[in-house]
């Protein structure tokens, strides 16, 4: 029996691919022991037990960004975290560690190296996090979701995705999806969304230009986010919803998507072969623009800066795209060539290679 330790967490970007790989390992071998290492503070503390996996925890020890009291205490706290994970690896007979970034990953990589246990790194973003930069230096395998991610020894494997996305048959599900949102399956549909909390810029732009979308002969499915107060004009063909818990149905109905460009979002849209307009989140270190870069280069998507997305820009650039069937068809073909639905299997193949050595 093989014992796997999957390390990572903090945000959905780390937890969701971790859980996809955990599910893949368990589906392949029910006798395998799949353990998860995370922190008590991260999203994994809730999601991992809900999915039926045992969560082992390690102290959250952020890398210091400036010389202060926390920086002075960092070396001791980090060494304690590594020692704690080493004890877990020995006690549970861990055969291989798979890291996805986040606070739990860095001590897991170093503990595995010191225990001479192979470890594999998966990086979801085009701009890698510090933990994975560190881990890639000694990893038995490094998988990345996006081509060109600057990690040593990286292999493009795609993103481990939710099964409902991987297995989605959009054509077969389109009628169900249209009925779910109160729209017409026979009309082309533009999906606009900015995440569970929404995106003010997207809401403002399409709140001012939704009539132009409808005048182009399209429907608009607008997911505004739970915190939005955008009014619903109750117009035929314009579905305003605060939150969607069935994104598979939203994607099944979509002929074009306008969204942020988080790593999972880009990976899911490409995997489904949907042309896209990405509006990267302007806060952060620019990773969302980098996540979309390969899709833009391939011709599967176009990029509009957050500050530039206005109702006028929607009318001037996105509405003409709705009327250009040939261009959208070319984008759809490019997305189909770019997308990877086998991210979970590809990461597991890296793990098998590491174990075989």
| 265 Cβ contact partners less than 8 Å away, ≥ 6 residues apart | 259
CA distances from 119 to 47, 48, 96, 105, 304 (A): 23, 20, 6, 10, 38
**What is the distance, to the nearest Å, from the Cα of residue 234 to the centroid of all Cα atoms in its chain?**
32
> Cα–Cα distance between 345 and 27 in angstroms, integer?
11
Displacement of CA 319 from its chain's centroid (Å) = 27
Q: Look at the block and give the residue holding tokens 């503390």.
A: 45
Does the annotation flag 101 for ligand binding?
Answer: no
Pair type for strands 33-38 and 54-57: parallel
Query: Is 259 assigned a ligand-binding role in the annotation?
Result: no
Q: Binding site annotation covers 12?
A: yes
Q: How far is CA 357 from CA 21, 28, 119, 345, 351, in A?
A: 20, 20, 11, 19, 10
Q: Which strand (E) or helix (H) includes residue 258?
A: strand 256-259
User: Is 11 labeled as ligand-binding?
Assistant: yes
- 162 annotated to bind ligand: yes
Question: Which whole-number Å values give the CA distances from 167 to 114, 295, 342, in the listed order?
Answer: 39, 22, 11
Q: Is 226 annotated as a binding residue?
A: no
> Count of CB atoms within 10 A of residue 113's CB?
18
125 labeled binding residue: yes
Which two tokens mark 235?
């117009």
Closest CA to 280 of 307, 301, 257, 306: 306
- Residues 6+ away with beta carbon under 8 Å from 176: 249, 252
- What are the binding residues? 11-13, 125, 162, 196, 288
- What are the binding residues for UDP-N-acetyl-alpha-D-glucosamine? 11-13, 125, 162, 196, 288
């Amino acid at each position: 029996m093989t014992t796997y330790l999957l390390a990572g967490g903090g945000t959905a970007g780390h937890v969701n691919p971790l859980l996809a790989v955990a599910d893949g390992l368990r589906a392949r071998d029910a006798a395998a022991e799949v353990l998860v290492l995370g922190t008590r503070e991260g999203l994994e503390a809730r999601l991992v037990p809900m999915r039926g996996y045992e969560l082992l925890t390690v102290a959250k020890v952020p890398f210091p960004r400036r010389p202060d009291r926390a920086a002075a205490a960092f070396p001791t706290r980090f060494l304690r975290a590594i020692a704690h994970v080493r004890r877990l690896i020995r006690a549970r007979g861990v055969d291989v560690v798979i890291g996805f970034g986040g606070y739990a990953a860095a001590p897991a990589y170093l503990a595995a190296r010191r225990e001479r246990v192979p470890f594999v790194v998966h990086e979801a973003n085009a701009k890698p996090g510090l933990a994975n930069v560190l881990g890639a230096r000694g990893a038995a395998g490094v998988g990345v979701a996006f081509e060109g991610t600057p990690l040593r020894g990286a292999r493009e494997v795609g993103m481990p995705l939710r099964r409902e996305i991987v297995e989605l048959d959009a054509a077969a599900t389109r009628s169900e999806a249209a009925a779910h949102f109160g729209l017409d399956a026979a009309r082309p549909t533009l999906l606009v969304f900015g995440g569970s909390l929404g995106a003010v810029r997207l809401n403002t732009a399409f709140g001012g230009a939704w009539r132009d979308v409808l005048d182009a002969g399209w429907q608009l499915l607008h997911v505004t986010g739970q915190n939005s107060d955008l009014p619903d004009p109750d117009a035929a063909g314009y579905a305003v919803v605060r939150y969607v818990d069935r994104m598979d149905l939203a994607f099944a109905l979509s002929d074009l998507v306008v969204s942020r460009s988080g790593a999972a979002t880009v990976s899911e849209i490409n995997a489904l072969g949907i042309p896209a307009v990405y509006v990267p989140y302007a806060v952060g270190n620019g990773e969302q623009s980098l996540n979309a870069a390969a899709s833009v280069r391939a011709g599967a998507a176009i990029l509009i800066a957050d500050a530039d997305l206005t109702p006028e820009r929607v009318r001037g650039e996105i509405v003409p795209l709705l009327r250009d069937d040939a261009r959208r068809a070319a984008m759809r073909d490019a997305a189909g060539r770019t997308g990877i639905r086998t991210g979970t299997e590809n990461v597991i193949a890296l793990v098998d290679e590491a174990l075989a050595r």
